[in-house]
Amino acid sequence: ILLWLDLFSLPQGPVSQALDSSWCGALIHFSTLKLQFGKDVIFTYGPLAHLISFVYTGELTCVRVIWEYVSKTLFAAILCATIVFLPKPWRLIFFLFVLLFIWVDPISDALYFLVISCVTALLFHHGAVRPSLNVFAGALFGVCSLFKFTYFLLSVIAVLLLVGFYLSCHKRSAPIALAVSFIGSVLLCWKLAGQAYGNFPSYLATSLDISFGYKEAMGLRSENWVVATGIAAAVLSLIQCTLVLRYRPCLPVLCIVLFYAGETFLSWNRAFIRADDHVLGFFALCPVAILTLWVAARPTGTIRRIGDAVNFLIVLICLTGISLQKPAEMRRDGNGSRRDLEATRRAAKGRQA
């Protein structure tokens, strides 16, 4: 319940002239008009972006609220399942980091990256013997892919590497279920959003063009210490991947490691090209995302002990990064979590009464 309360987030205010607020409101209006993404709308957000909007315009509000209830219930369940499969010493740290910092950046990228990482980790662990889990994951990846181009990239990376993982384990039904579900979900959601299939390639191409030109158009530099902290966290994450591969150097583990390396690159690139408060999303995501590696791969012995030390360093470095970028966030998120706890306590008393 506490996780659900923390994740649940409806638009808090109306659209305004501020940059982020204005484009978010515009996306809602574009979806209302059924404008064609890749043709009428050239942007990296997709035709379902109105479902993750953080402003209120009066349009598509009912759909937005329904998605919020459904998605956050699923996400809370996914995060809880991930916590169950984590090593015991890291369960509380994972829970608290999500609770305190997942919304440190009001854009939803950290949450969606984490959910995709958790689902992928669970599939690496269980998916080879559970085709139904792959159908669910493929459908979820497909829906998320049409929110934003970076979600699409991460989902494609996850699907390709999971298929490679399954095939290397000599499984046949799981990769077919995952691939068919993902492709079918993308195509179905694209159509339900009122988009013509002929515009899908142009949406991908224009999104890729914008991504390559984003640094020149919108790039911002951050403080040197913040950048250094982000680099340190990313490097340690890659070291963690290397440790896992060293523990078991085989093709299935290589697929796992490549996913986490790709996820680290995408999240770091997204945060530090425009290094304003976007960097907070990376620092909130990095420790918990790399912890899910312990769900996908379970090293033991010396490698496990070294890995635990690396995880601990990543947590400390990311907390430092949040403090350097926005010191007030540490206090604000602590107060927000106390309010969530109080709300949960009152709700529990109400049910007992």
Q: Which of 33, 87, 133 is nearest to 305 (CA)?
A: 87
Cβ atoms 315, 287 nearer than 8 A? yes
Q: Which of 92, 139, 91, 108 is nearest to 7 (CA)?
A: 108
Q: Which of 24, 59, 67, 21 is nearest to 44 (CA)?
A: 24
Per-residue confidence of the chain (353 residues) as pLDDT tens digits? 778 888 888 887 888 888 788 989 999 999 999 999 999 999 999 999 999 988 888 898 899 999 999 999 999 999 999 999 999 999 999 999 998 888 777 778 899 999 999 999 999 988 777 888 999 999 999 999 999 999 999 999 999 999 999 999 888 889 999 999 999 999 999 999 999 999 999 999 999 998 887 766 665 676 788 889 999 999 999 999 999 998 888 888 999 999 999 999 999 888 888 767 788 889 999 999 999 999 998 888 888 899 999 999 999 999 999 888 877 655 555 555 555 545 545 544 554 55
CA distance 225 to 25: 34
40 Cβ partners below 8 Å, 6+ apart? 30
Task: Give domain limits for the chain.
Answer: 2-332
Q: Extract long-range pairs of 155-159: CB within 8 Å, 24+ residues apart.
A: 155/116, 155/182, 157/258, 157/259, 157/262, 157/263, 157/266, 158/116, 158/119, 158/120, 158/259
CA distance 257 to 335: 36
